[in-house]
Structure 1
Amino acid sequence: MTQEEKYKIISNDFVDLYIEYNRNPKLLDIYQGATTHPINTRYAIAYVPASQLTEEFISKRGYAPLPHLYGLTSEKSIEASGVNKLRRLPGFSLRGNGVITAVIDTGIDYTNPIFQREDGSSKIIAIWDQTIDSANRYPENTFYGTEYSSEEINKALKSENPLQLVPSTDTNGHGTMLAGLIVGSEVAGSDFSGVVPDSDIIIVKLKEAKQVFRDFFIIPSDVPCYQENDIAWALDYVVKVARREKKPLSICIGVGSSQGSHDGRGPFDNTLGFYADSIGIAVSIAAGNEGNGGRHFYSTVDSSVGYSTVELKVGENEPGFAMEIWGTLPNTYSIDIYSPSGEYIPRISESLRVNQEVRFIFEDTVIYIDYQLVETHTGSQLILLRFKNPTAGIWRFRVYSRGDLMGAFHIWLPMDGFISNNTSFIQPDPYTTVLNPGNTIQPITVTAYNPNNDALYLQASKGYSRENKIKPELAAPGDNIVIPNLQKGFTTASGTSLAAAHTAGIAAMLLQWGIVEGNYPRIDSIAIKKYLIRGAKRIPGQTYPNRDWGYGIIDLYNTLNVLRADFPNI
């Protein structure tokens, strides 16, 4: 990509395709007019004219190149996790000194005093605002957005109008909330303190998804929505900044997606797993808030019957949505459809590629159906249905299985916010609802609970992954938590992204103990996760691990007791 071509990154006239190319540009020859933008040696983003994203795209190019679309996962805590108990021990202070934390989200209100040190300087060492276009102030090799240094932020804070110098803001508040939970200064009388108030922090404000992708997957234009490739660039950026500063890094990802196979396989999952498995890097991910939404269905297929029936209730005034059916190997799968008015679409037989547009005589509904018999990254079969103007009422699908083993399949509707709350399955399954990338093996995936009564957050997504890997692994405070708001005051909120932020702060404490203080120089996400699991609080009467709690509630004080046995000098 050249300077002259960078406009394609933000232009709605071009779509971003996530390509595994392994430095072989010939793999991009199938995309006419493509501009290649490598993220690393394995993956690249190809910008192609939006006219190529037709209804036949998946049948011709597959599902894999389309970036998944992510949404937000949230709507005391430090005492519950044993953090304050550690702070009260003489000579044992883990407040994030020498560690960098990072939040990849909606930005930050950098003018809030909780993000300033006692001398008035900012805790923020860099902001990459992907939404502010600039001629050449973007991070190296990204070609978009604007990067603001700590020097610029501090200069802005001393001015009468900070936003004239550093115009990056957080109009949503989600990113400010997460950053505050991680590094916010203690505020007397507000029952608030970040987990690691002495840590530095990097902020990435994600740009919103292009309208062309929202249209293709029928996502409302008024909800926050982000592209997977922009999150991948953000991940690469925060790691490079931390390595430049020569400090360990704890990353919080509070966004998620219900798209994809839910098994931790895919371009972004592989990249995320690589970094999480790197020395000095910890990654904490929100499990999602899909456990009680009725947007997941699971069934086995009785071979004597040959199919399983699915009932979907579509609410009034639902503009449309996408629905993904993922079949279990080695069987193959196909569907038929009954509309609410009784129109019947006969069974659409499976084949290597199916692309069919279904229209109805008595209804305005249009359904675009794609079969991917062998999806590129998983080898599983995917059936993607995209509904436009679906008729309200009960839709019935029969999912057929063919093969010599018992068939089984999962169906996922879009995540909360991307679809009406009035659209759900009649007999939903609350499990296997962890959002991507929370199914990636190496990072720490966290669910939320209320520290006042040890009750699981009602909306929290539940495990395991589609291939029965234990996700989430841990629970952290995330229900009815005090958070900073955009009015520089405080309120309460709930959601698993709050639990992920809390865990990112705890991971920063362990990075300080391990690397900055020299107790465990090779510590990474996996090691941090294992020790948190060993020290976790387990509720009597529960069997662990389980799909709701993973291995239990994070208890850092007990984790350090466990570490004391392995490292007797601490």
Structure 2
Amino acid sequence: MQKKIKNSGFSRTKELFATEITNGFEFAEVLDLLEDENEIEVIVKFNGDIERVAAELDAEAEIIYLNYAIITIDKTRIGLLNTYSEVEHIELPKNLYFNGPSNLISTCVTSVQRTDGFNLSGRGVIVAIIDSGIDYMHPDFQNNDGTSRILFIWDQTLQGTPPFGFYGGVEYNNQQINNAIESANPRQIVPSVDTNGHGTAVAGIAAGNGRASDGVNRGVATEADIIAVKVGYRGYESFARSTELMRALKYVIDKARRFNKPVCINMSFGMNNGSHQGDSLFETFITAISTNWKSAIVIPTGNESSAGHHYQGRISSNEVQEIEFFVGPGLETSYLSIWKNFADNFSVEMIFPDGSSTGVVGVESQTKTIRRPGFTTNIFYGQPSHYSTAQEIFFVSNVTGEPFFPGIVKLRIIAQQIVDGNYNIWLPTLEEVTEQTFFANPSIYNTMTIPATAAKVVRVAGYNDRVGNIAVFSGRGSVDDINHIPDIAAPAVNILSTRSGGGYDTFTGTSVAAPFVTGAAALMMQWGIIQNNDPFLYGERLRAFLRLGAQRRPDIVYPNASFGYGTLCLYDTMQYLVEYRLGGDYFWLQI
């Protein structure tokens, strides 16, 4: 049962509160504290007894993995967490958005599935879909006898009996799902519904068996077990927070360990709210838990390359630069996040379409609130944390009347003493502000969304397999750093998959590219772990072989910011796995 936090009785304005809590946080996160709820979740990196700390603050602690915890606390007491030596770092949760609205041949999957090939189907492996839910009534997620292939559904948006060790949502097991399928009123037994349809489409690509189409429209791992987590705020139909994805990751990995089965995890979410360097607690948690159990975490690079939401620049000492971006109609909230080298000293000013200004904001004014008719803008001039040397300057605007009036906004950067000079600016993702909000001169690079920026995950770009070109929307990596590029590209344009409510439909986006790789990873794990050909074929080893077997065009230099190491070709990957296995006495075991 979730503990109810008592109202502390504190009374303060939002501006004062924001000023008090900004020290020690990434400033992009502070807007979450400007909500009306008394309670808020924070991600905590800790040592020692964090449950005792939570108890003393009348809060609730969930230990997610090793020294990572989620603490639900009265927001007026967050500052007290910093007074405990057990607390190493605190991060506020951020909102994530779905990355999106027969390709089996182009991905070389069919030849691996065939009985005269490797004859792989994902049997013995779990495919976990962390997304908008799943239509458990769809025949493609059922066995030939009509029973469900879904081991568990955890719907975080419902209220009832949560999984053991968690405080929110409702868990339904395989027997309950089968009872629902056989019932005349299935939703009375298992009321979880994929109203968005995104998760059902992703699941169909990764693990659908094509039963509704007599095997024609099938996915990749057709006999894999399935675990589906419908993520969102506790008790609300909403996009997920980073804390909900952290819980979901722990949940599916714990389940896989309990069943002693390898697990491939698909998370088709993304956001722009962060440094994109893999250094937030959310990202480092994903990196850390990716080494736990026999798992592979697959994340798309997002759909931001053509959105115009990233600007990359360089400035010199005493220079003034002016950057224009257009704000589309109908927005009720928006943010702009600048990331710079802390050694560089510059101030910023934002000029609104009506000519009014925030005034110049620098290090001497680390928080500032500007009120204009109809909206309020908060500016936070940040500091580096002990996890990152970067500095963030964050603008967040919220309407107080009618939605924003569209127009051109100007951002002025006024440089003083500059050492490095490079900086990056991000606007919210397409899913947050649509294509009508964009920079006048954007960069298509460094547009992979978070958490594809985490280390040790398989990052999947999207391409049009009919023409061989990278999809114009597919998130790109860095042109200078191969540690921040996609691993592989998979089909992402007009992909046929399962539709929530029955039948099939076409989908486009990197979120439907990722499940091709998730399913491929399940087939690799079946061959390696289940069939004992390569018992350590998971994590970074699996990622390396996906890269090795990727198809590469002779006219393109690899690895690159768009395709990574090439396009998915599972058959070639499997051939390399066989070649290395036959190379002599499992030499790789001795490395």
Same fold (TM over 0.5): yes
Write out per-residue CA displacement over residues 360-379 of structure 1, whole angstroms, 9 at most, x where no aligned residue: 4xx54421000112145323
Match of 1:330 in 2: 343
Change (3 A) 1:207 1:346: closer
Match of 1:146 in 2: 170
Matched, 1:292 2:292: no
TM-superposed CA distance for 1:388, in Å, is 2.5
**Cα distance in structure 1, aligned partners of 2:480 and 2:88:** 21
Change (3 A) 1:62 1:275: closer
Write out per-residue CA displacement over residues 118-150 of structure 1, whole angstroms, 9 at most, x where no aligned residue: 12111101111112211xx21122111111111
8 A contact 1:298–1:410 mirrored in 2: yes
**Cα distance in structure 2, aligned partners of 1:308 and 1:30:** 50
TM-superposed CA distance for 1:28, in Å, is 5.7
Matched, 1:119 2:160: no
Q: Out of 11, 14, 20, which is 2:45 matched to?
A: 20
Change (3 A) 1:544 1:94: same
**Cα distance in structure 2, aligned partners of 1:131 and 1:455:** 38
Match of 1:239 in 2: 253
Match of 2:322 in 1: 309
Change (3 A) 1:465 1:101: farther
Change (3 A) 1:551 1:295: same
8 A contact 2:98–2:270 mirrored in 1: yes
Matched, 1:452 2:466: yes
Matched, 1:84 2:106: no
Matched, 1:563 2:573: no
**Cα distance in structure 1, aligned partners of 2:258 and 2:61:** 26
8 A contact 2:5–2:73 mirrored in 1: no
Matched, 1:384 2:387: no
**Cα distance in structure 1, aligned partners of 2:226 and 2:208:** 10
Write out per-residue CA displacement over residues 61-107 of structure 1, whole angstroms, 9 at most, x where no aligned residue: 99952111101011221111111122335262110011011000111
TM-superposed CA distance for 1:318, in Å, is 3.0
* Counterparts of residues 387-466 of structure 1 (less than 5 Å): 387-389=397-399, 390-403=404-417, 405-464=419-478
Matched, 1:479 2:493: yes
8 A contact 2:315–2:418 mirrored in 1: no
Amino acid at match of 2:62: H
Match of 1:215 in 2: none
Change (3 A) 1:26 1:122: closer
Q: Out of 502, 507, 518, which is 2:521 matched to?
A: 507
Match of 1:102 in 2: 128
State the SS of the aligned residue for 2:65.
Answer: coil
Amino acid at match of 2:233: E
8 A contact 1:374–1:380 mirrored in 2: yes
State the SS of the aligned residue for 1:69.
Answer: coil
Match of 1:269 in 2: 283
Match of 1:371 in 2: 381
State the SS of the aligned residue for 1:475.
Answer: strand
Change (3 A) 1:330 1:64: farther
**Cα distance in structure 1, aligned partners of 2:129 and 2:174:** 16
8 A contact 1:302–1:308 mirrored in 2: no
8 A contact 1:370–1:385 mirrored in 2: yes
8 A contact 1:6–1:144 mirrored in 2: no
Match of 2:92 in 1: 66
TM norm structure 2: 0.86
Match of 1:159 in 2: 183
Match of 1:47 in 2: 72
Q: Out of 223, 233, 255, which is 1:198 matched to?
A: 223
Change (3 A) 1:106 1:156: same
Q: What is the root-mean-square deviation of aligned Cα atoms in Å?
A: 2.9
**Cα distance in structure 1, aligned partners of 2:56 and 2:268:** 33
Change (3 A) 1:40 1:313: same
Amino acid at match of 1:383: I
TM-superposed CA distance for 1:45, in Å, is 1.7
State the SS of the aligned residue for 1:350.
Answer: coil
Write out per-residue CA displacement over residues 510-537 of structure 1, whole angstroms, 9 at most, x where no aligned residue: 1111100111111222111111111111
8 A contact 1:104–1:254 mirrored in 2: yes
Change (3 A) 1:151 1:6: farther
**What stretches of structure 2 of length at least 5 have no aligned partner?**
8-35, 585-591
Matched, 1:174 2:198: yes
Matched, 1:133 2:133: no
Write out per-residue CA displacement over residues 399-426 of structure 1, whole angstroms, 9 at most, x where no aligned residue: 2345452311111111112114321111
Match of 2:29 in 1: none
**Cα distance in structure 1, aligned partners of 2:55 and 2:61:** 12
**Cα distance in structure 2, aligned partners of 1:395 and 1:466:** 30
State the SS of the aligned residue for 1:321.
Answer: strand
Write out per-residue CA displacement over residues 470-513 of structure 1, whole angstroms, 9 at most, x where no aligned residue: 32111011111001112311111101111111110000011111
8 A contact 2:460–2:486 mirrored in 1: yes
**Cα distance in structure 2, aligned partners of 1:532 and 1:348:** 47
Change (3 A) 1:400 1:514: farther
**Cα distance in structure 2, aligned partners of 1:40 and 1:300:** 39
Match of 1:219 in 2: none
Match of 2:207 in 1: 183
State the SS of the aligned residue for 1:259.
Answer: coil
Match of 2:25 in 1: none
Change (3 A) 1:91 1:547: closer
Change (3 A) 1:189 1:38: closer
Amino acid at match of 1:384: F
TM-superposed CA distance for 1:7, in Å, is 11
TM-superposed CA distance for 1:297, in Å, is 0.8
Match of 1:358 in 2: 370
Matched, 1:321 2:334: yes
Change (3 A) 1:321 1:344: closer
Change (3 A) 1:537 1:381: same
**Cα distance in structure 1, aligned partners of 2:435 and 2:448:** 18
Amino acid at match of 2:574: L
Amino acid at match of 1:177: A
Deviates further, 455-464 or 248-257 = 455-464
TM-superposed CA distance for 1:201, in Å, is 0.6
Deviates further, 12-21 or 227-236 = 12-21
8 A contact 1:326–1:381 mirrored in 2: yes
**What stretches of structure 1 of length at least 5 have no aligned partner?**
212-221
Amino acid at match of 1:307: V
8 A contact 1:438–1:445 mirrored in 2: yes
TM norm structure 1: 0.89
TM-superposed CA distance for 1:559, in Å, is 1.1
Match of 2:23 in 1: none
8 A contact 1:475–1:553 mirrored in 2: yes
Amino acid at match of 1:367: T
TM-superposed CA distance for 1:469, in Å, is 2.2
Question: What is the number of residues matched between the two proteins?
Answer: 546
Match of 2:15 in 1: none
**Cα distance in structure 2, aligned partners of 1:560 and 1:403:** 54
8 A contact 1:291–1:430 mirrored in 2: yes
State the SS of the aligned residue for 1:153.
Answer: helix
**Cα distance in structure 2, aligned partners of 1:356 and 1:31:** 33
State the SS of the aligned residue for 1:479.
Answer: coil
